Amino acid sequence: MTEIVIPFKGQFRQKMLSSEKYTTWRTSKKGEIGDTFWAFGKQFELTAIEPMTQGDVLADDKAVQSEGFTYAWELRDVFEDLYKRAGGYDPDRTGFLHDFKMLGRE
Domains of the chain as residue ranges with CATH: 10-102 (3.10.400.10)
Which residues are bridge partners to 101 per DSSP? 45
User: Average pLDDT per run of 10 along the chain, which is 106 residues long?
Assistant: 95 96 97 98 97 97 97 96 90 97 82
Asked if 45 and 103 count as a contact pair (C-beta separation under 8 A), the reply is yes
**What 3-state class would DSSP assign to 38?**
strand
